[in-house]
Amino acid sequence: MRTLVLNPDASGIGQAAECICQDGLVAFPTETVYGLGANALSASAVARVFEIKGRPRFDPTIVHVAHPETVNTLWKSIPPLAEKLLDLFWPGPLTLVLPKHKTVPDIVTAGLPTVAVRMPSHPVALRLIEASGRPIAAPSANKFGRSSPTHHDHVLSDLDGQVDVILAAGPSAVGIESTVLSLAEDPPRLLRPGGTALEVLREIVPDLRVDSPVGPSSSPGTLPRHYLPRTPLFLLEEETPSGRGAYIDRRRCGMLAFARQWQAFGRVEVLSETGDLRQAAARFFASLRVLDAAELSAIVAEPVPEEGLGLAIADRLRRASSGRARLAGDRIWMIR
Ligand code: TXA
Ligand code: MG
């Protein structure tokens, strides 16, 4: 199968929308990461998304809308808190989970009685959904378990020949997936930290719960191991981690640095020279891909401050890691 790579101009968006209407698959840009989109109201189109991604059927997808009013056709009812959050945060990187309307196919929600919905702010995403005249179900446009794509080149390298259309719109500005918040529970629960900072959400939802382990029961897709690079990644720690480990030469390692310039590594990617967490989020997945492609024996990641978007970055780092590490002169001590 040939994948059409289209410019996101009026004609490209028109063709992509046509493809969605015929139950085809379109990879499209959002402000967070690229999505692998299908007509959310067509079970067979969404089934192809699961197939191509290699995604287990227990992991539900997010439905994308171009207008807040569309939630009336997706959710059973809209509680006042949902209204308020939509008003304040849409369009943008916030996904809300509420009991679903029966028109939403079960495959979209992995059989759950709830559906996750968000209105992205990327103009191309909005135009595509609008032109399709349907809500679009879309997980991130990568193979299951791998890094999310923040550039159309990433989508091409993962899904060329498998997706019908790619709308090529360059880098995603936020760079980390949306925050997922469940309003189906009382008090509401954070299911995944993401592009909308927790501190900001707490101002509106003071009783927001983040305590419980984010696991299969609450949000099936938030597995402890995810985003796995091919090169094993280790989280750098101050203290010597305990357990069985091995030394490795620093030059054979890549360094995913937050703000510092590190010496004597095989390759260094700095997320933000000025220590800006937004910039770090925007560069995160692309930097991870660069290091993963550099034929190194391991990647070492410097911790990021767990505030603002740093919480989401730290969460992705934990899921991407195979173990912990500590500096030991020109070598690194690594523990799986
Ligand atoms: O920024 C984003 O959210 C990107 C762009 C493309 O919109 N999408 C994305 O989708 O990251 P995905 O499929 O990679 O992650 C969706 C997350 C998963 O953790 C899934 O378990 C959770 O949302 N989710 C979806 N529907 C849910 C539901 N009904 N209840 C609980 N969690 C749900
Ligand atoms: Mg994903």
Residue 215 in this model has a pLDDT that exceeds 50: no
Burial of 166 (0-12, 13-18, 19+ CB in 10 A): buried
Instruction: Verify cis geometry, omega within 30 degrees of 0, for the bond prior to 99.
Output: no
53 C-alpha to center of ligand 1: Å?
14
H helix runs in 41-105, sequence order: 43-53, 80-89
189 pairs with which residues across the strands? Answer: 182, 209
Residues 268, 261 contacting (CB under 8 angstroms):
yes
Name the strands in the sheet holding 136-138, side by side, starting at the edge strand that comes first in the sequence.
4-6, 165-167, 26-28, 35-39, 136-138, 62-64, 114-118, 94-99, 179-182, 189-192
Q: Shortest CA distance to 3 belongs to which of 24, 33, 34?
A: 24
In this prediction, residue 226 has a pLDDT band, given cuts at 50, 70 and 90, of: confident
Q: HSE on the CB side for 322, CA within 13 Å?
A: 14
Instruction: For residue range 120-160, list pLDDT tens digits in order.
Output: 999 999 999 999 999 999 999 999 888 999 999 999 999 99
- Determine the pLDDT at residue 145: 82
pLDDT at 218 over 90: no
pLDDT in tens, 270-291: 999 999 999 999 999 999 999 9
Q: How many percent of the chain have pLDDT more than 90?
A: 86
Say which residue the tokens 């796995």 belong to: 228
What phi and psi, each to the nearest 5 degrees, are found at residue 87? -60, -45
What pLDDT is attached to residue 238?
Answer: 80
Q: The dihedral of CA 12, 14, 16, 19: what is its sign?
A: negative
CATH hierarchy code of domain 233-335: 3.40.50.11030
Rg for the chain (alpha carbons), in Å? 20
**Measured in angstroms, how far is the CA atom of residue 155 from the centroid of ligand 2?**
12
Lowest mean per-residue pLDDT among 98-102, 214-218, 289-293: 214-218
Closest atom of ligand 1 relative to the 222 alpha carbon: 19
Mean residue pLDDT across the chain: 94
pLDDT > 70? residue 250: yes
* pLDDT for 58 beyond 60: yes
**298: enclosing H helix or E strand:** strand 298-301
Asked if residue 243 lies in contact with residue 332, where contact means CB atoms within 8 angstroms, the answer is no
> Which residue has tokens 């934990």?
318
- Please name the residue whose Cα sits nearest to atom 18 of ligand 1: 221
- Please tell me the distance between residue 34's alpha carbon and the centre of ligand 2 in angstroms: 10
Closest ligand 1 atom to Cα of 112: 29
Handedness of CA 83, 87, 92, 94 (dihedral sign): negative
Ligand nearest to the CA of 120: 1
pLDDT attached to residue 146 = 85
Residue 268 tokens, joined? 């260094």
User: Helix or strand or coil: residue 142?
Assistant: coil
Contacts of 276 (CB under 8 A, 6+ apart): none
- The tokens describing 326, both together, are 């500590």
| CATH architecture under which domain 4-204 falls | Alpha-Beta Complex (3.90)
Cα–Cα dist 122/44, whole Å = 26
Residue 99's pLDDT band, with cuts at 50, 70 and 90, is very high
Which atom from ligand 1 is nearest to the alpha carbon of 177? 1
User: Which helix or strand (DSSP H or E) is residue 131 part of?
Assistant: helix 123-132
pTM above 0.85, yes or no: yes
pLDDT at 29: 98
How many Cα atoms are found within 13 Å in the side-chain-facing hemisphere of 275?
A: 6
Distances (CA, A) of 272 to 39, 243, 277, 283: 37, 32, 7, 8
Q: Where are the domains of the chain?
A: 4-204, 233-335
Output the pLDDT for position 188.
97
* Six token digits for residue 221: 């897709």
Band (243; pLDDT cuts 50, 70, 90): confident
Percentage of the residues of the chain whose pLDDT score is greater than 70: 96
Per-residue pLDDT at 169 exceeds 70: yes
pLDDT at 222 over 70: no
Q: Is the CB of 62 inside a 6 Å radius of any atom of ligand 1?
A: yes
So what's the pLDDT on residue 216?
A: 41
Is there an atom of ligand 1 within 6 Å of 121 CB? no
**pLDDT of res. 214:** 46
Mean pLDDT of 314-326: 93
CB 177 within 8 Å of CB 94: no
User: Which residues lie across from 247 on neighbouring strands?
Assistant: 333
- Output the CA torsion sign for 210, 212, 217, 223: positive
Output the residue whose Cα is nearest ligand 1's atom 31.
219
Residue 244 has pLDDT above 90, yes or no: no
